[in-house]
């Protein structure tokens, strides 16, 4: 049976009219409720992508060690976001915590630095550097975080793709070096989300990074 003769589709209006006559009203309304949000969501995602992804995003494909470089690009992006957040938060708010059960803003930063040293030294195969004597003030905490990021920069720069599958130990679990290097950026991203929430709760807007 031919429901939609070709000569009736001269305009979009004709097509819609034919659909509304052939499809029961409740079903048509359900289709619209689904289709319209999906179209808006697609448009919104495209806009966000265009707005947030830099045209200068580094391309690792031509690097001597493209896989390690890819992991480092993600990690560096997180570092950039974390350092900007640490700088933007007033020192008086470094002790801020939304509830008593969670870390303060400053404690999250110290934790990020601790884990960065732990994971990167693990990948390098050496003991983590000793932490500084004091990490209480904003300046001390920022210096500690920056030091851990600089240390990881050196580890990633000296790593080759050929060793990504070398055996490693992740807090008692057997794995490979790629897992360890992946977890550095993953851990940074996890706690950057905390920092963003703390900043928003204090009326501050995160500056973001490359994407």
pLDDT single digits (tens) 185-204? 999 999 999 999 999 999 99
With bands split at pLDDT 50, 70 and 90, how would you rate the model's confidence at 3? Answer: very low
Give the model confidence (pLDDT) of 124-179 as tens digits: 999 999 888 888 999 999 999 999 999 999 999 999 999 999 999 999 999 999 99
What pLDDT score does 32 carry?
46
Quickly count: other Cβ atoms within 10 Å of residue 169's Cβ. 10
Mean pLDDT of 71-80: 94
Residue 85 and residue 201 in contact, taking contact as beta carbons nearer than 8 Å: no
Distance separating alpha carbons of residues 130 and 127, to the nearest angstrom: 9
The answer on pLDDT for 11 being more than 60 is no
With bands split at pLDDT 50, 70 and 90, how would you rate the model's confidence at 120? Answer: very high
Q: In which region does residue 86 sit, left (phi positive, over 0), alpha (psi from -120 to 50) or beta (all else)?
A: alpha
Give the model confidence (pLDDT) of 33-67 as tens digits: 544 454 545 554 555 444 455 556 778 888 889 99
Domains recognised in the chain with CATH numbers: 6-52 (no CATH), 60-201 (1.20.120.450)
**pTM to 2 decimal places:** 0.73
What pLDDT score does 99 carry?
96
More confident residue, 23 or 94: 94
């Amino acid at each position: 049976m031919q429901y939609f003769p070709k000569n009736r589709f001269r305009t979009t209006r004709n097509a819609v009219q034919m659909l509304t006559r052939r499809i029961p009203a409740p079903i048509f309304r359900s289709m619209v409720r689904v289709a319209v949000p999906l179209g808006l969501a697609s448009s919104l995602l495209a806009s966000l992508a265009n707005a947030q992804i830099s045209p200068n995003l580094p391309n690792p494909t031509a690097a001597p060690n493209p896989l390690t470089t890819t992991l480092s690009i993600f990690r560096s992006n997180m570092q950039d976001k974390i350092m900007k957040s640490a700088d933007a938060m007033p020192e008086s708010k470094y002790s801020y915590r939304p509830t008593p059960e969670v870390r303060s803003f400053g404690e999250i930063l110290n934790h990020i630095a601790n884990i960065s040293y732990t994971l990167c030294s693990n990948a390098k195969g050496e003991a983590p550097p000793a932490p500084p004597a004091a990490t209480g003030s904003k300046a001390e905490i920022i210096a500690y975080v920056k030091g851990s990021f600089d240390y990881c920069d050196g580890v990633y720069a000296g790593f080759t793709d050929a060793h990504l599958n070398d055996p490693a130990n992740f807090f008692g679990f057997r794995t490979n070096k790629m897992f360890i290097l992946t977890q550095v950026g993953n851990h940074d991203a996890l706690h950057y989300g905390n920092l963003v929430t703390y900043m928003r709760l204090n009326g501050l807007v995160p500056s973001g990074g490359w994407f």
